Amino acid sequence: MNKPKISMEELVSYCKRRGFVFQASEIYGGVAGMYDFGPYGVELKNNLKRLWWKEVVYKNTNVVGLDSAIIQNPKVWQASGHVERFNDPMVDCKACKKRFRADKLADVDSTDVKELTDIIAKLDCPNCGKHDWTDIRQFNLLMKTFLGPVEDDSAVAYLRGETCQGIYTNYDNVRETTRAKLPFGVAQIGKAFRNEITPGDFLFRQREFEQAEMQMFVHPDEASKVFAEWKQARMEWHQSFLTKENLRFREHGENERAHYAKDAWDIEYNFPFGFKEMEGIHNRGDWDLSRHSKYSSKELDYFDEASGKKYIPWVVETSVGMDRLFLATILDAYHEEKVGDETRVVLKLKPELAPVKVAILPLSKKPELSKVAQEVFASVAGEYNVEYDETQSIGKRYRRQDEIGTPLCVTVDFESLDDKAVTVRDRDSMEQERVKMSELKEYLDSKLS
């Protein structure tokens, strides 16, 4: 494994210091597995979501979007198999009471309880060193709530454990309203909830997180081909802004595949704690639509006009965790560079992803400079995130913008009052160029595009 550029501890503190990510409910001591995205975090995440949406929805003639409810009829989760089988194996150390996810403790990608029990039987507790394990038990990850005022079994509902179920339940609505012919896809970005046994590794394993999923409905005979195409396309997309060497495919083993999966591959990223799943690409067969058809008693067959035949479409799914992608994007963009005797931290994000595109920095707080600088701000703000900052020395303000990845800084100095021009500094080269105020917006747009 390459030596990470930054440790997880450093990354967590950098993300907090620079306003990317805060611990949720921090003033109350936090809450396990939950994070809040700060002023720059929300920008970066929105930019990543927009990039994904453009790639998956706008670039394909046969993919459309959807935004379904987080809470659905509980029957959805019975049909999907989640109520019965969305489990993680759990084991406790009887000596120190520490709880582990059994497959993570055993360090195998398997859900087979016998296999996990055999491996764990040979291990001591990594926390206390003793050897006194409970049996492995299955723990259901769905988060429960109640609808309405009475908290009894008939009011139980679930926060969605994955976004795709809302796509399956709307398959027929989308097909009918868009007049789509197979193969067609439906994409959605949204929150998902899992009561993870051991949340950890910062944003990597949370209890509330965000998924970007695309479900392609296909003829069964076409599923393998469509699967191969999307698998390749998804990897190329990640490679378009993340370092190639930090990305790899991994095929799921027999004991690891979800109950519905005919074929399953992960795209893994090289996190500081090793190569781990960032996106899953699955051939789900006809599991989803046939189960929902059975449980709802609604026919979800597709009628193929050309052949005059009916069949249940198969589903090819791509599912990326936006928070894991967010983590990978920061890790990948993070650089420390020597400048003279100093080290500068610079986030080399492509402009499209940068939380702030342009910073307007008057050289000092003098009112006559502020006035002009505010006018410059107004002339370029509106279409993308522009920041105005007049506190601290100009050097410190440059460093601060470098650290959050701002591609361009615009300095308004005393000369600007006479020559009606400003200095534009490039984040990566640190080169500066004098640009007329009247041409500034056009100049910035062309640099950012």
**Shortest distance in whole angstroms from residue 265 CB to ligand ATP:** 11
- Interface pick for ligand ATP out of 44, 247, 278, 349 (rule CB under 6 A): 278
Longest C-alpha distance within the chain, in Å? 79
C-beta closer to ligand ATP: residue 279 or 332: 279
C-beta closer to ligand ATP: residue 279 or 402: 279
Q: Which residues contact 257 (CB under 8 A, 6 or more apart)?
A: 264
**Shortest distance in whole angstroms from residue 423 CB to ligand ATP:** 42
Of the ranges 24-32, 277-285, 348-356, 433-441, which one interacts with ligand ATP (CB under 6 A)?
277-285
C-beta closer to ligand ATP: residue 82 or 397: 82
Residue 311 DSSP symbol: E
Pull the structure tokens for residue 64.
């459309």
Of the ranges 289-297, 317-325, 361-369, 387-395, which one interacts with ligand ATP (CB under 6 A)?
317-325
Q: Which of residues 189-248 bind ligand ATP (CB under 6 A)?
A: 194, 196, 205-206, 209, 211
C-beta closer to ligand ATP: residue 188 or 406: 188
**Shortest distance in whole angstroms from residue 319 CB to ligand ATP:** 4
- Interface pick for ligand ATP out of 324, 397, 400, 427 (rule CB under 6 A): 324
Residues 306, 312, 317: CA angle, nearest 5 degrees: 110
Q: Collapsing DSSP states into helix, strand and coil, what is residue 359?
A: strand
Alpha carbon dihedral 268, 203, 253, 139, in 10-degree steps, equals 180
> Can you state the angle between helices 322-333 and 39-53, rounded to 10 degrees?
110
C-beta closer to ligand ATP: residue 196 or 413: 196
C-beta closer to ligand ATP: residue 206 or 329: 206
Of the ranges 164-172, 230-238, 271-279, 396-404, which one interacts with ligand ATP (CB under 6 A)?
271-279
**Shortest distance in whole angstroms from residue 192 CB to ligand ATP:** 7
CA-closest candidate to residue 373, choices 385, 388, 358, 393: 388
Question: Contact between 166 and ligand ATP (CB under 6 A)?
Answer: no
Of the ranges 15-23, 57-65, 167-175, 275-283, which one interacts with ligand ATP (CB under 6 A)?
275-283
* 3-class SS letters over 75-135: HHHHHCCHHHHCEEEEEEECCCCCEEEHHHHHCCCCCCHHHHHHHHCCCCCCCCCCCCECC
Looking at the chain, how many residues does it have?
Answer: 449
CA-closest candidate to residue 175, choices 211, 213, 218, 212: 218
- Interface pick for ligand ATP out of 55, 92, 323, 387 (rule CB under 6 A): 323
Give the residue nearest to ligand ATP (CB): 321
CA-closest candidate to residue 404, choices 2, 47, 35: 47
Distance spanning both ends of the chain, measured CA to CA: 34
How far, in Å, CA of 326 to CA of 179, rounded?
35
> Can you state the angle between helices 8-17 and 322-333, rounded to 10 degrees?
100
- Interface pick for ligand ATP out of 165, 188, 319, 406 (rule CB under 6 A): 319
**Shortest distance in whole angstroms from residue 306 CB to ligand ATP:** 34
- Count CA within 13 A, CB hemisphere, residue 359: 27
CA-closest candidate to residue 171, choices 76, 259, 78, 261: 76
Question: Contact between 263 and ligand ATP (CB under 6 A)?
Answer: no
Q: Which residues contact 121 (CB under 8 A, 6 or more apart)?
A: 133
Of the ranges 47-55, 176-184, 316-324, 412-420, which one interacts with ligand ATP (CB under 6 A)?
316-324
Q: Which residues bind ligand ATP (CB under 6 A)?
A: 162, 194, 196, 205-206, 209, 211, 277-280, 319-321, 323-324
